[in-house]
């Protein structure tokens, strides 16, 4: 099940998505031990940020909805975590966010010295006003952010994370590739969406709106990855609603070289990564597939 994702070796194609569990080094190492081929830290911002008040993360019938609001200790306060990550058994992806090109640059400067395997550029968070989606819905601004981060990142790979809210996600991916992206991550949470409690007569999330994840968004994620695959030649980290081996295989068939999971840890536990990797292997055996890489993008044939 070993794969290579833009030059990074992974024991299997499963990746912990950003914002799930990854608040500290020890949890990331635990997830790696529980089977993830790579792990992503919770997105890091330019300064300490509280995030939104509770309720911030809720389950609904077909997935999760969250408006955590990008809390972060700020990149300056994370030395301790980065140091402890040196012996993580899987490659570490560091996710970053900012509200301006300058902020993205500052965070990149602050973390590049720790030499993460990949810098994930979060331009797609749907539940903050200043950060996130505004960069990810426009091909030009998306490219500007990628270019700025890439300049500072040097030999470290950079991977913008895109939003399904973009009206032409393929165009945005193409424009990021031209700006120097080494990979594309898609998708961030969908929406935003909203839960209302009829008895309370109120929106349930304190922020009212939040990003939708989990099984409900899988068809949207598959379509996005499919379209991006047709548009770029860099590899795709596909995510959104993957909870089992077949979901992961479908995502790879749509065009993903590796597959991210977040919400799945709620349904299947922290060892979701091992479970899904095993299910993928089982599927491969049943279908006489020797090398998982053969499946990447096959639905396009």
Per CB under 8 A, the list member of 30, 76, 223, 274 interacting with its own copies is 223
* Residue 246 in the binding site for its own copies (CB under 8 A): yes
* Residue 288 in the binding site for its own copies (CB under 8 A): no
Structure token digits, residue 265: 């840890």
Q: Say whether 176 is catalytic.
A: no
User: 234 contacts which partner out of another protein, ligand FMN, its own copies, none, CB within 5 to 8 A by kind?
Assistant: none
* Residue 72 in the binding site for another protein (CB under 8 A): yes
CB 178 within 8 A of CB 50: no
In the beta sheet, which residues pair with residue 209?
194
* Residue 264 in the binding site for ligand FMN (CB under 6 A): yes
Structure token digits, residue 31: 């997830």
What is residue 73's three-state secondary structure? coil
CB of 215 to its own copies, least distance (A): 6
CB of 95 to ligand FMN, least distance (A): 5
What residues between 7 and 66 interact with ligand FMN by CB under 6 A? 17-20, 42-43, 57, 64, 66
User: 21 contacts which partner out of another protein, its own copies, ligand FMN, none, CB within 5 to 8 A by kind?
Assistant: another protein
What is residue 34's three-state secondary structure? coil
Distance CA 194, CA 210 (A): 6
* Burial degree of 136 (CB within 10 A; 0-12, 13-18, 19+): buried
* Residue 21 in the binding site for another protein (CB under 8 A): yes
Between 44 and 143, whose beta carbon lies closer to ligand FMN? 44
CB of 241 to ligand FMN, least distance (A): 5
CB of 247 to its own copies, least distance (A): 9
Query: What is the per-residue binding string for its own copies in 4-43, x denoting contact by CB under 8 A?
Result: ----------------------------------------
What residues between 67 and 96 interact with ligand FMN by CB under 6 A? 68, 70, 95
User: 219 contacts which partner out of another protein, ligand FMN, its own copies, none, CB within 5 to 8 A by kind?
Assistant: its own copies
For ligand FMN, the nearest residue by Cβ is 19
* Residue 128 in the binding site for ligand FMN (CB under 6 A): no
CB 85 within 8 A of CB 113: no
Catalytic residue among 6, 88, 125, 137: 125
Q: Which are the contacts of 178, defined by CB distance < 8 A and separation ≥ 6?
A: 143
Distance CA 112, CA 1 (A): 29
Using alpha carbons, select from 237, 212, 287 the residue that is nearest to residue 15.
237
Sign of CA dihedral 108, 93, 95, 77: negative
Q: Which are the contacts of 98, defined by CB distance < 8 A and separation ≥ 6?
A: 45, 46, 104, 105, 106, 107, 131, 145
User: 74 contacts which partner out of ligand FMN, its own copies, another protein, none, CB within 5 to 8 A by kind?
Assistant: another protein
* Residue 238 in the binding site for ligand FMN (CB under 6 A): no
Q: What is the CA radius of gyration of the chain?
A: 18
Structure token digits, residue 84: 């402890």
What residues between 200 and 239 interact with another protein by CB under 8 A? 200, 202, 204, 206
Distance CA 13, CA 4 (A): 9
Which sequence positions are flagged as catalytic? Answer: 125
């Amino acid at each position: 099940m070993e794969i290579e994702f833009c030059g990074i070796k992974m024991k299997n194609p499963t990746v912990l998505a950003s914002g799930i569990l990854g608040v500290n080094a020890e949890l990331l190492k635990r997830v790696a031990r529980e089977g993830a081929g790579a792990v992503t830290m919770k997105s890091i911002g330019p300064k300490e940020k509280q995030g939104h008040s509770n309720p911030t993360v809720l389950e609904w019938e077909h997935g999760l909805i969250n408006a955590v609001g990008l809390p972060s200790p700020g990149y300056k306060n994370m030395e301790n975590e980065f140091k402890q990550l040196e012996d993580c058994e899987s490659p570490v992806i560091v996710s970053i966010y900012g509200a301006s090109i300058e902020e993205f640059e500052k965070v990149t400067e602050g973390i590049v010295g720790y030499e993460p395997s990949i810098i994930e550029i979060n331009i797609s968070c749907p539940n903050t006003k200043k950060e996130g989606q505004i960069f990810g819905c426009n091909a030009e601004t998306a490219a500007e952010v990628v270019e700025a981060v890439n300049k500072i990142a040097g030999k470290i790979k950079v991977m913008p994370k895109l939003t399904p809210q973009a009206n032409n996600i393929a165009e945005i991916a193409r424009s990021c590739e031209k700006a120097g992206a080494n990979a594309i991550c898609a998708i961030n949470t969908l929406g935003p969406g909203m839960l209302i409690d009829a008895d309370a007569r109120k929106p349930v999330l304190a922020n009212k709106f939040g990003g939708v994840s989990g099984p409900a968004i899988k068809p949207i994620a598959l379509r996005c990855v499919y379209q991006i695959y047709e548009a770029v030649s860099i590899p795709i980290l596909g995510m959104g609603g993957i909870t089992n081996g077949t979901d992961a295989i479908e995502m790879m068939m749509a065009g993903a070289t590796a597959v991210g999971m977040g919400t799945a840890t709620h349904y299947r536990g922290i060892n979701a990564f091992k479970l899904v990797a095993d299910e993928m292997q089982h599927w491969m055996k049943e279908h006489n597939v020797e090398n998982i890489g053969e499946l990447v993008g096959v639905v396009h044939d």
